[in-house]
Amino acid sequence: MYLFHGKSKMIEEVTTTMERLQKVIAHAGIASRRKAEELILQGKVKVNGQVVTELGVKVGPQDKIEVDGIPVEREEPVYYLLYKPRGVISSVKDEKGRKVVTDFFEGLDKRIYPIGRLDYDTSGLLLLTNDGDFANLLMHPRYEIEKVYIAKVRGIPTREQLKQLEKGIMLEDGMTAPAKVKMLSLDKRKQTAIIEIRIHEGRNRQVRRMFEAIGCRVMKLKRERYAFLDLKGLNPGDYRELSPHEVKQLRALALSGGRR
């Protein structure tokens, strides 16, 4: 019994080290899994010197992979949560020399990049990884990951205007999905309001444009939550690594269409 158990465990370990080629390419941060599949079909990928043009091929840790003649450096996937400050670009580099989110990860020997983005003037929760497959999963429009924002706006919206946000607002790139909106506080003297808004889309400057559409200009904007993740214990510029359980939860949440 002991020898059989040991043998089966060894077989299981060998099996689990074999992964689909497109997944390995995505994990290396070269492309999303879908793009990796296109590269394979186009004959741009080699395994151990041989061109691979079929999907479904599995590779192990010792296999040498090349994309467009460049060896793939296989990294262990990492997942981080950053409290992005205002005045920082959600990118790995900026042509104007402005501070970017990866500047907070000095000394990290892995090539990470943000999942989605937060505007230059928006602070809050941002995820970064080197796992292209994971990033693509969370950013895909069909996966409804809820994001919670706190907005300070100029102008106090009426209940009817808030209902417009809840039903959906017509923007230049189409109608927004229904949102959940809550007035947290207001200052009649200054004519400002603080509002919580929950959305599951990720269009460019979406929250700001939604408020502009009802006549309120966003003065400050912060992403407080992403799915079940929050910023507790972090200050602007701080980051922490996601636990394996949190990563597993995010995958499951995305695949369930955002339903917990």
Tokens coding 136: 């693509």
Q: How far from the centroid of its chain's Cα atoms is residue 78's Cα?
A: 13
Residues with catalytic roles: 119
The DSSP secondary structure of 19-42, one letter per residue, reads EEHHHHHHHTTSS-HHHHHHHHHT
What lies within 8 Å, CB to CB, of 144 at 6+ separation is 200, 257, 258, 259
Burial class (CB in 10 A: 0-12, 13-18, 19+), 57: middle
- At 185 the three-state DSSP class reads strand
Q: What is the distance between the alpha carbons of residues 28 and 75, in angstroms, rounded to a whole number?
A: 6
Tally of helices (H runs) and strands (E runs) in the chain:
7, 17
Candidates 2, 56, 63; CA nearest to 10 is 2
- At 150 the three-state DSSP class reads strand
Tokens coding 243: 């636990």
Candidates 156, 159, 162; CA nearest to 190 is 156
